A and B are shown apart, each in its own frame.
Chain A
Amino acid sequence: MKDKIMPPLVLTMICVVVCGLLVMAYNATYVDNTGVLTDDMKAGCKEIFGEGSYEIMLDPDAEEKTPVTFDAEGVNSIITDKENKTCLIEITEDGYSKGGLHLLVGINSEGAIEGIYFLSIGETPGLGTKVQNDSFLGQFKGFNTETDENSIDNVTAATFSSKGMKSACKKAVKLYDEHKEEIFNG
């Protein structure tokens, strides 16, 4: 009889203990930063536009902090700087790997891209990560809704990542164009 009860008991005990430890560890390390302007984002904003009072646009009627995204696909949040009319859009896009590009696209008052800051990159190291060099990012300066994206040439051997970058910028600029008024006086 003993060897009928022991195995499931031992297995369940181990599962319970492991799961308990993991939940504790998870609560200890997980920090919920939806709708919070992390200092990494602040550093990004400063790098693109320099000093400014940046805050994240929060949905007024939702009770806890859900960032406004006008449910555009891939957009995580929108950061605005009311005085000098600049806006940054935090967007996640798939390059070669799923959700590999997590960027902050800075758009100036004329609706063109001022600069791009990488919050995180999950592309193939050595190949996909080359989209971070200034030679490629420089081409995006002044990118707005009219510019044709084929004018920007891709990074060699990183076609997927470059395509991901272009589609992310196009989405950001389009979103800014449609919702410009709400962003600034909303």
Chain B
Amino acid sequence: MSYILILIGCVFVNNVVLSQFMGICPFLGVSKQMKSSVGMGAAVIFVMICATAITYPVYRLLEKFGIEYLKTVAFILVIAMFVQLVEIVMKKMMPPLYKALGVYLPLITTNCAVLGVTIGNIDNGYNFAQSLTNALGTGLAFTLALLLFSGVRSRIENCDFPETFKGVPATLIAASIVSLSFMGFSGII
């Protein structure tokens, strides 16, 4: 499949947050402000691409010895190691960048979308270039949903909700409407 098709497929058709339901925990937690959403989005894209780059050879190694069933443990170990490594290096090399993005890095290890992408690459049988595009697409989709949502959310804070619906319930209902609109894209691929 051409790469553009994968990209469009990831961002619009099955958006990782709105229709595949991955990465909702950070999505609800961080999308309160535009600034933190941009930070989180950039960090997620970076980690997703590098995680795919690392897990691809690891999977080939597992496949050669016929133990694919251990892929979950291997993947998550590699991802956790990578995220912690990036955090240490960033703390030393780029303190200002660490101040802005650093706090979101540990959140990414527990982000379902990252592991979801790596396993998705394996299930769809993508080759190396295709899985990188898939990772980029999913990262963009996550950031798009996050930005879209921080806008919606800052509006929600101000308008008058019944007491029990304030805060997260209102956000979830807004999310359901946005995901309804995203379903409109489902036919194009």
Contacts and interface: CB of A to CB of B under 8 A. Distances in A.
Interface in B56-108: 67, 69-70, 73, 77
Contacts of B70: 19, 22-23
Interface string A14-38: 0100110011001000100000000
Contacts of A98: 123-124
Given A15-B77, A18-B73, A23 B123 contact: no
Contacts, number: 14
Contacts of A15: 73, 77
B115 to A, nearest CB: 17
A82 to B, nearest CB: 35
B73 A22 contact: yes
A143 to B, nearest CB: 26
A22 B73 CA distance: 10
Interface residues of B, number: 7
B40 to A, nearest CB: 28
A98 B73 CA distance: 22
Contacts of A19: 70, 73
B14 to A, nearest CB: 10
Given A98-B123, A98-B124, A26 B73 contact: no
Contacts of B69: 22, 26, 30
A153 B140 CA distance: 37
Contacts of B124: 98
A23 B73 contact: no
Nearest to A97: B123
Interface in A9-64: 15, 18-19, 22-23, 26, 30
A30 B70 CA distance: 13
Q: Which 9 A-B pairs have the closest CB atoms?
A: A98-B123, A26-B69, A22-B70, A18-B73, A98-B124, A19-B70, A15-B77, A22-B73, A19-B73
9 contacts: A15-B77, A19-B73, A22-B69, A22-B70, A23-B67, A23-B70, A26-B69, A98-B123, A98-B124
Interface of A: 15, 18-19, 22-23, 26, 30, 98
Given A23-B70, A26-B69, A98-B124, 11 more contacts: A15-B73, A15-B77, A18-B73, A19-B70, A19-B73, A22-B69, A22-B70, A22-B73, A23-B67, A30-B69, A98-B123
